[in-house]
Amino acid sequence: MSGDAAVVEGPLHGYHHETYVVPLPGRPGEAEPVRWKCREPRPGLLWFDRRCFASEEELLRALQGRIEGIPDLIQAGSAGLQRFIEGETLGTLYGSGGGIPSSLLGQIVSLFGQLARVRPDSLTAERTCTSVYRAAEGDSDGFLERLILFTEEEVYQRNMPDFKGLFYDLGLDGASFGKLREHVSGLTRRPFHLLHADLHRENFVVDGVGRLWTIDWELAMFGDPLYDLATHLYLMRYPRDQEDRMIEQWRRVVTPRGSDGWEKDLPKLLAFKRAQSVFTDVIRTALSLEEERTVDASLLARAGDRIQQVLNAATVPLGIKVPAPESVTAALGRWYEERAESAGVMAGAAVPGGA
Protein backbone atom coordinates (compact mmCIF):
# COMPACT_ATOMS: atom_id res chain seq x y z
CA MET A 1 0.00 0.00 0.00
CA SER A 2 2.70 2.47 1.02
CA GLY A 3 5.17 1.55 -1.72
CA ASP A 4 7.96 1.26 0.87
CA ALA A 5 7.98 -1.55 3.41
CA ALA A 6 10.52 0.37 5.51
CA VAL A 7 7.91 2.96 6.54
CA VAL A 8 5.40 0.40 7.84
CA GLU A 9 5.25 0.27 11.66
CA GLY A 10 4.31 -2.83 13.60
CA PRO A 11 3.13 -5.08 14.82
CA LEU A 12 1.93 -2.71 17.54
CA HIS A 13 1.33 -3.89 21.09
CA GLY A 14 -2.17 -5.25 21.49
CA TYR A 15 -3.95 -8.35 22.69
CA HIS A 16 -6.81 -8.95 20.27
CA HIS A 17 -5.28 -7.81 16.97
CA GLU A 18 -2.08 -7.81 15.00
CA THR A 19 -1.85 -4.17 13.98
CA TYR A 20 0.35 -2.31 11.49
CA VAL A 21 0.46 1.41 10.78
CA VAL A 22 0.77 2.43 7.13
CA PRO A 23 1.45 6.01 5.95
CA LEU A 24 -0.53 6.91 2.82
CA PRO A 25 -0.96 10.15 0.89
CA GLY A 26 -3.43 12.49 2.56
CA ARG A 27 -6.86 13.27 1.22
CA PRO A 28 -7.45 16.48 -0.74
CA GLY A 29 -6.50 19.40 1.48
CA GLU A 30 -4.05 17.34 3.55
CA ALA A 31 -0.49 18.16 2.59
CA GLU A 32 1.19 15.52 4.74
CA PRO A 33 0.80 11.74 4.55
CA VAL A 34 -1.77 10.26 6.93
CA ARG A 35 -1.15 7.12 8.97
CA TRP A 36 -3.76 4.35 8.85
CA LYS A 37 -4.17 1.19 10.93
CA CYS A 38 -4.37 -2.20 9.25
CA ARG A 39 -5.63 -4.78 11.76
CA GLU A 40 -6.33 -8.48 11.73
CA PRO A 41 -7.74 -10.48 14.67
CA ARG A 42 -5.16 -12.76 16.27
CA PRO A 43 -6.15 -16.44 15.93
CA GLY A 44 -6.82 -18.66 18.93
CA LEU A 45 -7.29 -15.90 21.50
CA LEU A 46 -9.46 -16.06 24.60
CA TRP A 47 -12.39 -13.61 24.45
CA PHE A 48 -13.76 -12.51 27.79
CA ASP A 49 -16.50 -10.21 26.47
CA ARG A 50 -19.28 -10.54 23.94
CA ARG A 51 -18.83 -9.25 20.41
CA CYS A 52 -22.17 -8.01 19.12
CA PHE A 53 -21.29 -6.42 15.76
CA ALA A 54 -20.00 -8.31 12.74
CA SER A 55 -17.33 -5.70 11.98
CA GLU A 56 -15.84 -2.81 13.95
CA GLU A 57 -15.16 -0.97 10.68
CA GLU A 58 -18.78 -1.42 9.58
CA LEU A 59 -19.97 -0.05 12.93
CA LEU A 60 -17.64 2.97 12.70
CA ARG A 61 -18.82 3.63 9.17
CA ALA A 62 -22.44 3.63 10.38
CA LEU A 63 -21.56 6.01 13.23
CA GLN A 64 -19.84 8.64 11.07
CA GLY A 65 -21.64 11.95 11.60
CA ARG A 66 -23.44 10.62 14.68
CA ILE A 67 -20.55 10.14 17.12
CA GLU A 68 -17.77 12.71 17.29
CA GLY A 69 -14.13 11.83 17.77
CA ILE A 70 -14.07 8.38 16.17
CA PRO A 71 -11.54 7.20 13.55
CA ASP A 72 -12.15 7.90 9.86
CA LEU A 73 -12.17 4.95 7.48
CA ILE A 74 -10.89 4.23 4.00
CA GLN A 75 -11.04 1.15 1.84
CA ALA A 76 -7.71 0.09 0.33
CA GLY A 77 -8.48 -2.81 -1.97
CA SER A 78 -9.92 -5.56 0.20
CA ALA A 79 -8.59 -3.98 3.42
CA GLY A 80 -10.63 -1.61 5.57
CA LEU A 81 -8.31 0.84 7.31
CA GLN A 82 -8.91 3.04 10.34
CA ARG A 83 -7.18 6.39 10.59
CA PHE A 84 -4.41 6.29 13.21
CA ILE A 85 -5.17 8.92 15.83
CA GLU A 86 -2.04 10.97 16.51
CA GLY A 87 -1.67 11.78 20.19
CA GLU A 88 -1.30 10.23 23.63
CA THR A 89 -3.69 7.91 25.41
CA LEU A 90 -5.50 9.28 28.43
CA GLY A 91 -3.74 6.62 30.50
CA THR A 92 -0.32 7.89 29.41
CA LEU A 93 -1.20 11.46 30.34
CA TYR A 94 -3.23 10.76 33.48
CA GLY A 95 -2.64 7.38 35.10
CA SER A 96 -5.24 5.12 36.70
CA GLY A 97 -6.69 6.57 39.88
CA GLY A 98 -5.80 10.16 39.01
CA GLY A 99 -8.11 12.95 38.01
CA ILE A 100 -8.41 14.29 34.47
CA PRO A 101 -8.94 17.89 33.31
CA SER A 102 -12.50 19.20 33.24
CA SER A 103 -12.28 19.78 29.49
CA LEU A 104 -11.63 16.07 28.89
CA LEU A 105 -14.27 15.00 31.41
CA GLY A 106 -16.76 17.16 29.53
CA GLN A 107 -15.89 15.46 26.24
CA ILE A 108 -16.50 12.03 27.79
CA VAL A 109 -19.88 13.24 29.05
CA SER A 110 -20.65 14.51 25.54
CA LEU A 111 -19.78 11.05 24.16
CA PHE A 112 -22.30 9.47 26.55
CA GLY A 113 -24.93 11.91 25.28
CA GLN A 114 -24.25 11.02 21.66
CA LEU A 115 -24.36 7.29 22.43
CA ALA A 116 -27.73 7.80 24.10
CA ARG A 117 -29.20 9.01 20.80
CA VAL A 118 -28.26 5.83 18.91
CA ARG A 119 -31.18 3.47 19.45
CA PRO A 120 -31.28 -0.18 18.34
CA ASP A 121 -33.66 0.52 15.44
CA SER A 122 -31.57 3.41 14.06
CA LEU A 123 -28.33 1.65 13.09
CA THR A 124 -27.72 -0.43 9.98
CA ALA A 125 -24.49 -2.19 11.05
CA GLU A 126 -24.92 -5.97 11.12
CA ARG A 127 -25.35 -7.43 14.61
CA THR A 128 -24.17 -10.94 15.47
CA CYS A 129 -25.37 -11.47 19.05
CA THR A 130 -27.38 -14.67 19.16
CA SER A 131 -30.84 -14.67 20.74
CA VAL A 132 -29.36 -16.47 23.76
CA TYR A 133 -27.31 -13.39 24.58
CA ARG A 134 -29.73 -10.65 23.42
CA ALA A 135 -32.29 -9.23 25.87
CA ALA A 136 -35.63 -7.66 24.97
CA GLU A 137 -35.74 -3.87 24.70
CA GLY A 138 -35.62 -2.22 28.12
CA ASP A 139 -35.19 -5.48 30.04
CA SER A 140 -32.22 -4.44 32.18
CA ASP A 141 -32.48 -7.57 34.32
CA GLY A 142 -32.41 -9.76 31.22
CA PHE A 143 -29.49 -7.79 29.79
CA LEU A 144 -27.40 -8.36 32.93
CA GLU A 145 -28.44 -12.02 33.11
CA ARG A 146 -27.04 -12.54 29.61
CA LEU A 147 -23.75 -10.90 30.59
CA ILE A 148 -23.55 -13.26 33.57
CA LEU A 149 -24.44 -16.22 31.36
CA PHE A 150 -21.68 -15.32 28.90
CA THR A 151 -19.12 -15.13 31.72
CA GLU A 152 -20.35 -18.43 33.14
CA GLU A 153 -20.41 -20.34 29.85
CA GLU A 154 -17.73 -18.70 27.70
CA VAL A 155 -15.17 -17.72 30.35
CA TYR A 156 -15.61 -20.06 33.32
CA GLN A 157 -16.92 -23.31 31.81
CA ARG A 158 -15.06 -23.06 28.49
CA ASN A 159 -11.74 -22.66 30.32
CA MET A 160 -12.49 -25.27 32.96
CA PRO A 161 -10.27 -27.98 31.36
CA ASP A 162 -7.19 -25.79 31.77
CA PHE A 163 -8.04 -24.04 35.05
CA LYS A 164 -10.22 -26.44 37.05
CA GLY A 165 -7.63 -27.02 39.78
CA LEU A 166 -6.81 -23.33 40.11
CA PHE A 167 -10.49 -22.32 40.25
CA TYR A 168 -11.08 -24.97 42.93
CA ASP A 169 -8.10 -23.85 45.01
CA LEU A 170 -9.33 -20.25 44.90
CA GLY A 171 -12.85 -21.19 46.02
CA LEU A 172 -14.49 -20.50 42.65
CA ASP A 173 -17.16 -22.95 41.57
CA GLY A 174 -20.50 -23.04 39.80
CA ALA A 175 -22.32 -21.93 42.95
CA SER A 176 -20.58 -18.55 42.68
CA PHE A 177 -22.77 -17.63 39.71
CA GLY A 178 -25.97 -18.44 41.59
CA LYS A 179 -24.87 -16.16 44.40
CA LEU A 180 -23.96 -13.45 41.90
CA ARG A 181 -27.38 -13.62 40.25
CA GLU A 182 -29.08 -13.32 43.62
CA HIS A 183 -26.94 -10.33 44.57
CA VAL A 184 -27.55 -8.27 41.40
CA SER A 185 -31.17 -9.12 40.53
CA GLY A 186 -34.03 -6.64 40.45
CA LEU A 187 -32.77 -3.94 38.08
CA THR A 188 -35.05 -1.11 36.99
CA ARG A 189 -36.13 -1.15 33.33
CA ARG A 190 -34.29 1.42 31.19
CA PRO A 191 -34.53 2.07 27.43
CA PHE A 192 -31.60 0.55 25.54
CA HIS A 193 -29.14 2.47 23.40
CA LEU A 194 -25.63 2.01 21.99
CA LEU A 195 -22.88 1.24 24.50
CA HIS A 196 -19.15 1.36 23.83
CA ALA A 197 -18.74 -1.08 26.77
CA ASP A 198 -14.96 -0.56 27.14
CA LEU A 199 -14.40 3.12 27.94
CA HIS A 200 -11.10 3.11 29.80
CA ARG A 201 -8.03 5.34 29.70
CA GLU A 202 -6.23 3.42 26.95
CA ASN A 203 -9.24 3.68 24.63
CA PHE A 204 -9.21 7.48 24.73
CA VAL A 205 -6.57 9.38 22.73
CA VAL A 206 -5.87 13.09 23.28
CA ASP A 207 -4.57 14.84 20.16
CA GLY A 208 -2.32 17.88 19.91
CA VAL A 209 -5.16 20.39 20.36
CA GLY A 210 -6.79 18.65 23.33
CA ARG A 211 -9.52 16.86 21.39
CA LEU A 212 -10.55 13.48 22.77
CA TRP A 213 -10.88 10.53 20.39
CA THR A 214 -12.53 7.20 21.24
CA ILE A 215 -11.02 4.04 19.77
CA ASP A 216 -11.51 0.24 19.95
CA TRP A 217 -15.26 -0.19 19.41
CA GLU A 218 -15.14 -3.97 18.99
CA LEU A 219 -17.06 -4.64 22.25
CA ALA A 220 -19.88 -2.20 21.46
CA MET A 221 -23.44 -3.41 21.98
CA PHE A 222 -26.98 -2.24 22.57
CA GLY A 223 -28.16 -2.44 26.16
CA ASP A 224 -28.74 -0.83 29.53
CA PRO A 225 -27.09 2.63 29.52
CA LEU A 226 -26.21 2.34 33.21
CA TYR A 227 -23.96 -0.62 32.37
CA ASP A 228 -21.79 1.62 30.17
CA LEU A 229 -21.43 4.09 33.04
CA ALA A 230 -20.63 1.32 35.55
CA THR A 231 -17.99 -0.18 33.24
CA HIS A 232 -16.46 3.25 32.70
CA LEU A 233 -16.30 4.06 36.42
CA TYR A 234 -14.87 0.62 37.23
CA LEU A 235 -12.12 0.89 34.61
CA MET A 236 -11.25 4.58 35.03
CA ARG A 237 -10.77 4.54 38.82
CA TYR A 238 -11.63 8.23 39.15
CA PRO A 239 -10.96 10.05 42.42
CA ARG A 240 -14.20 10.07 44.41
CA ASP A 241 -15.07 13.72 43.77
CA GLN A 242 -14.60 13.33 40.00
CA GLU A 243 -16.56 10.08 39.97
CA ASP A 244 -19.47 11.91 41.61
CA ARG A 245 -19.23 14.67 38.97
CA MET A 246 -19.25 12.10 36.17
CA ILE A 247 -22.37 10.41 37.56
CA GLU A 248 -24.17 13.74 37.93
CA GLN A 249 -23.31 14.90 34.42
CA TRP A 250 -24.05 11.49 32.88
CA ARG A 251 -27.56 11.68 34.33
CA ARG A 252 -28.13 14.96 32.49
CA VAL A 253 -27.27 13.65 29.03
CA VAL A 254 -28.83 10.18 28.86
CA THR A 255 -32.23 9.71 27.28
CA PRO A 256 -35.41 10.26 29.32
CA ARG A 257 -35.70 7.41 31.82
CA GLY A 258 -32.14 6.36 30.96
CA SER A 259 -31.04 7.00 34.53
CA ASP A 260 -34.13 5.59 36.25
CA GLY A 261 -33.22 3.68 39.41
CA TRP A 262 -29.53 4.52 39.10
CA GLU A 263 -28.90 4.92 42.84
CA LYS A 264 -30.16 1.39 43.54
CA ASP A 265 -28.74 -0.27 40.43
CA LEU A 266 -25.29 1.27 39.98
CA PRO A 267 -23.83 -0.62 42.99
CA LYS A 268 -25.22 -3.87 41.55
CA LEU A 269 -23.63 -3.29 38.15
CA LEU A 270 -20.32 -2.36 39.77
CA ALA A 271 -20.54 -5.57 41.81
CA PHE A 272 -20.99 -7.52 38.57
CA LYS A 273 -17.89 -5.86 37.10
CA ARG A 274 -15.86 -6.87 40.16
CA ALA A 275 -17.15 -10.44 39.93
CA GLN A 276 -16.54 -10.65 36.18
CA SER A 277 -12.95 -9.47 36.70
CA VAL A 278 -12.23 -12.38 39.03
CA PHE A 279 -12.56 -14.97 36.27
CA THR A 280 -10.86 -12.93 33.55
CA ASP A 281 -7.99 -11.75 35.76
CA VAL A 282 -7.32 -15.20 37.22
CA ILE A 283 -6.98 -16.64 33.71
CA ARG A 284 -4.93 -13.74 32.34
CA THR A 285 -2.62 -13.63 35.35
CA ALA A 286 -2.00 -17.37 35.24
CA LEU A 287 -1.34 -17.36 31.50
CA SER A 288 1.04 -14.43 31.88
CA LEU A 289 3.36 -16.73 33.83
CA GLU A 290 3.84 -18.86 30.74
CA GLU A 291 5.16 -15.83 28.87
CA GLU A 292 8.04 -15.40 31.33
CA ARG A 293 11.44 -16.96 30.70
CA THR A 294 11.73 -17.91 34.37
CA VAL A 295 9.14 -18.01 37.13
CA ASP A 296 10.60 -17.53 40.59
CA ALA A 297 9.07 -16.99 44.03
CA SER A 298 9.06 -13.20 43.66
CA LEU A 299 7.17 -13.29 40.35
CA LEU A 300 4.66 -15.78 41.75
CA ALA A 301 4.09 -13.61 44.81
CA ARG A 302 3.34 -10.56 42.65
CA ALA A 303 0.92 -12.57 40.52
CA GLY A 304 -0.68 -13.89 43.70
CA ASP A 305 -1.13 -10.35 44.99
CA ARG A 306 -3.00 -9.37 41.83
CA ILE A 307 -5.37 -12.30 42.18
CA GLN A 308 -5.79 -11.65 45.90
CA GLN A 309 -6.94 -8.10 45.18
CA VAL A 310 -9.62 -9.09 42.66
CA LEU A 311 -10.85 -11.89 44.93
CA ASN A 312 -11.11 -9.52 47.89
CA ALA A 313 -13.10 -7.03 45.81
CA ALA A 314 -15.67 -9.67 44.83
CA THR A 315 -16.21 -11.58 48.08
CA VAL A 316 -19.76 -10.27 48.55
CA PRO A 317 -21.24 -10.67 45.03
CA LEU A 318 -19.64 -14.12 44.56
CA GLY A 319 -20.14 -15.24 48.18
CA ILE A 320 -16.61 -16.61 48.40
CA LYS A 321 -14.12 -17.00 51.20
CA VAL A 322 -10.77 -15.77 49.96
CA PRO A 323 -7.77 -18.02 50.71
CA ALA A 324 -4.77 -16.62 52.56
CA PRO A 325 -2.13 -14.91 50.37
CA GLU A 326 0.31 -17.79 50.70
CA SER A 327 -2.42 -20.22 49.62
CA VAL A 328 -3.16 -18.16 46.52
CA THR A 329 0.53 -18.11 45.60
CA ALA A 330 0.83 -21.85 46.20
CA ALA A 331 -2.20 -22.50 43.99
CA LEU A 332 -0.61 -20.51 41.17
CA GLY A 333 2.63 -22.44 41.65
CA ARG A 334 0.86 -25.80 41.35
CA TRP A 335 -0.99 -24.66 38.24
CA TYR A 336 2.21 -23.43 36.61
CA GLU A 337 4.15 -26.60 37.37
CA GLU A 338 1.34 -28.82 36.08
CA ARG A 339 1.16 -26.83 32.85
CA ALA A 340 4.92 -26.93 32.40
CA GLU A 341 5.01 -30.69 32.98
CA SER A 342 2.13 -31.36 30.59
CA ALA A 343 3.91 -29.32 27.92
CA GLY A 344 7.16 -31.17 28.54
CA VAL A 345 8.88 -27.97 29.66
CA MET A 346 10.82 -27.67 32.89
CA ALA A 347 9.93 -24.70 35.06
CA GLY A 348 12.64 -22.05 35.08
CA ALA A 349 13.09 -22.22 38.83
CA ALA A 350 11.85 -24.01 41.88
CA VAL A 351 8.27 -22.97 42.54
CA PRO A 352 7.12 -22.72 46.14
CA GLY A 353 3.98 -24.64 46.97
CA GLY A 354 4.36 -26.93 43.99
CA ALA A 355 2.87 -30.39 43.98
Alpha-carbon span 18 to 10, nearest angstrom? 8
Q: How far apart are CA 314 and CA 309, in angstroms?
A: 9
- d(CA 194, CA 217) in angstroms, rounded, equals 11
For residue 7, what pLDDT is reported? 84
Residue 240 contacts residue 246 (beta carbons within 8 Å): no
What does the angle CA 67 – CA 69 – CA 73 come to, to the nearest 5 degrees?
Answer: 85
Confirm if 316 and 271 have CB atoms less than 8 A apart: yes
**Residue 32: its pLDDT value, please?**
73
State pTM to two decimals: 0.90
The predicted pLDDT at position 15 comes to 60
Can you give the pLDDT at residue 349?
45
Q: Is 73 helix (H, G, I), strand (E, B) or coil?
A: strand
CA distances from 151 to 118, 195, 280 (A): 26, 18, 9
Compute CA distances 107 → 101, 102, 203, 228, whole Å.
Answer: 10, 9, 14, 16
pLDDT at 350: 44
Mapped onto helix, strand or coil, the DSSP state of residue 41 is strand
Q: ∠ at Cα 91 (220, 273), nearest 5°?
A: 45
Residue 173 burial by Cβ neighbours in a 10 Å radius (0-12, 13-18, 19+): middle
What is the predicted pLDDT for the residue at 172? 96
Q: For residue 178, what pLDDT is reported?
A: 97
Residues near 253 by Cβ (< 8 Å), separated by ≥ 6?
109, 110, 112, 113, 116
pLDDT of residue 351: 44
Residue 244 pLDDT: 98
What's the chain's Rg over C-alpha atoms? 22
Cβ(82)–Cβ(39) below 8 Å: yes
Residue 176 is predicted with a pLDDT of 96
d(CA 99, CA 117): 28
Looking at residue 346, its pLDDT comes to: 43
- For position 48, what pLDDT does the model report? 77
What's the order of all strands across the beta sheet hosting 79-83? Answer: 17-24, 34-41, 79-83, 73-76
Other CB atoms within 10 Å distance of the CB of residue 155: 21
Nearest CA among 319, 288, 322 for reference residue 302: 288
Instruction: Per residue of the chain (355 residues), give pLDDT as tens.
Output: 777 788 888 888 766 678 889 888 766 666 677 888 888 777 666 677 888 998 899 999 999 999 999 999 887 777 778 889 999 999 999 999 999 999 999 999 999 999 999 999 999 999 988 777 788 999 999 999 999 999 999 999 999 999 999 999 999 998 999 999 999 999 999 999 999 999 999 999 999 999 999 999 999 999 999 999 999 999 999 999 999 999 999 999 998 899 999 999 999 999 999 999 999 999 999 999 998 888 899 999 999 999 999 999 999 999 999 999 999 999 999 999 998 887 764 444 444 443 3
